[in-house]
Amino acid sequence: MLTVDALTKTYKTGDKALKAVAFTVPKGQVVGLIGPSGAGKSTLIRCINRLVEPTSGRVLLNDLDITALPGSGLRRARRRIGMIFQEYALVERLTVMENVLSGRLGYVGFWSSFLRRFPAEDIESAFRLLDRVGLMEHADKRADALSGGQRQRVGIARALAQDPELLLIDEPTASLDPKTSRQIMRLIVEICDERGLPAIINIHDVLLAQQFTQRIIGLRAGEVVFDGPPAALDEDVLTRIYGEEDWTAMRRSAEEDVAAERDAAERMAGMV
């Protein structure tokens, strides 16, 4: 379980990016983190694993107080937190398999990692992960030869190679088309369910968040202004989070996109 307790981030300019943010995420729950640009979503995710240092408050992962750890302890703790990035953060010149195995770098010695020599069990696990994310046949391809959706799947497999206790996912669909976005979200949710992993997904697409996550946390100006089930995210709540917008028209457009994609899939199936 993840516990965020009164987490605050104040920059040297005096700007408060986070204001006493508090919530818990139990085992296996996938949380969608939404809010306008500048609301503090990315800052929150990075404060949880201390890529950004919080000003005050606590972050606890199961029995471990991450905010109290010194450098060496923090490095060990980060092995327990899988991070999936919007821009994939892959090493382009390395193969898919090598990128996945990089998730094990925190567990092997310097020379083993430098020479990319990993234990047999790590390699076997990496093959299983590639199979799970649908990339087994791409294991020996360079990362720069992959599509955006395939790169994101490599990022998911790499994070899982850490054998994490928590996933932090920063805008995983921002660079993807609608169909691929739904496939990636579905994959993340299925894997979290299979492994009992709690996850926080920073996501701009409200409808994707509603469709795939079990809980929504809405941030505005560094404060939690909504925390509840996706079904409760009505027009009034969305206006509280984002401000005035024609939410009905936005939902209608997204539903039409999904229906068109479904119709196209059914036509293709009928041709086989």
**pLDDT exceeding 70 applies to what percent of the chain?**
86
Query: Which helix (H) or strand (E) element contains residue 250?
Result: helix 247-271
Strand locations in 11-100 (E): 16-25, 30-34, 56-61, 64-65, 81-84
Per-residue tokens: 260: 């068109």
- What sign for the dihedral angle of Cα 234, 240, 241, 242? positive
For the stretch 5-34, pLDDT in tens is 999 999 988 889 999 999 999 999 999 999
Alpha-carbon gap, residue 155 to 177, rounded angstroms:
17
- What sign for the dihedral angle of Cα 146, 149, 150, 152? positive
Find residue 61's DSSP bridge partners.
2, 64
For the stretch 32-63, pLDDT in tens is 999 998 899 999 999 999 999 999 999 999 88
Alpha-carbon gap, residue 272 to 270, rounded angstroms:
6
For the stretch 201-219, pLDDT in tens is 999 899 999 999 999 999 9
Per-residue tokens: 19: 């204001």
Q: Which strands make up the sheet holding 56-61, listed edge to edge?
A: 16-25, 2-10, 56-61, 64-65
pLDDT above 70 for 109: no
Q: Which of 79, 92, 66, 52 is nearest to 4 (CA)?
A: 66
Alpha-carbon gap, residue 252 to 237, rounded angstroms:
18
